[in-house]
Homo-oligomer: A and B are copies of this chain.
């Protein structure tokens, strides 16, 4: 009996002896293993395990788990491929981009530079009193390739094609110059005025790419103060992107609307547009109500 006790003590004492680190680690690993495999655990428990993020080098737990190494590496490869594709496309743009004949044409000089133009465009209301309008040299092939309107005009041997001069009405020399330049380079320096002028030309001559470019710019410049004017302008020139953005901004601020001077003017000048604002506002309210309803039900 005493012998049995002795043995029990001997066994028991083992637990008081210091255990070597290796042994400890083994126990720990074993238990961690269980901790992970066991299905019964709640997130808060597994969340205490942490890993180090390859990207930000911070430790993270299960709740903040992103991707495994393999997926991370795949994603990085994809990113590299996309960047390569962008480089290729930029090189293609640089190759296809024409130097504009205007690089060599200066205001007050009709020299088109050594670029063999076969047509000139003239701004019918060039804003320089006294001076004759300055022709903007161009190529029929470029105009026809960028604008179906020019294409029809030039193919059908209209007066413009025969005379080699295309008159553009209601546009300044600078806007016309920027317009032609865009047809060659797909680039334009924009402020709000120029964006409006070019949008009008793009709409008139059906240069979709330029129209989209101007619309994006105008949307980025939208604010409460210019929203009503932008709305009316977009309406007049069929600029859907700007129209929707402006309408959204206006219908979000209906309480302030009627106090605006431009509002009174619009009611005077074009009440139909004002009606459309109220209609948009109404349908917005209906939609919001319906949405609230459904979210309450669900």
Contacts and interface: CB of A to CB of B under 8 A. Distances in A.
Interface class of chain A by DSSP: helix
Nearest to A35: B28
B53 A60 contact: no
A102 to B, nearest CB: 13
A67 B48 contact: no
A96 interface: yes
Contact of A79 (B72, B82, B101, B141): B82
Contacts of A129: none
A70 B69 CA distance: 15
A68 interface: yes
Interface stretch (A84-92, A247-255, A281-289): A84-92
Interface of A: 5, 8-9, 11-13, 15-16, 21, 25, 27-29, 31-36, 40-41, 45-46, 48-56, 58-60, 62-75, 78-79, 82-83, 85-86, 89-99, 101, 114-118, 139-142, 144-146, 154-155, 186, 209, 212
25 contacts: A5-B9, A8-B12, A25-B41, A27-B31, A28-B32, A28-B45, A29-B35, A31-B32, A46-B51, A51-B62, A52-B62, A53-B66, A54-B67, A55-B68, A66-B71, A66-B72, A75-B79, A79-B82, A86-B89, A89-B92, A89-B93, A91-B209, A114-B154, A114-B155, A116-B144
Given A12-B13, A116-B154, 7 more contacts: A8-B12, A8-B13, A28-B32, A53-B68, A54-B65, A64-B70, A115-B141
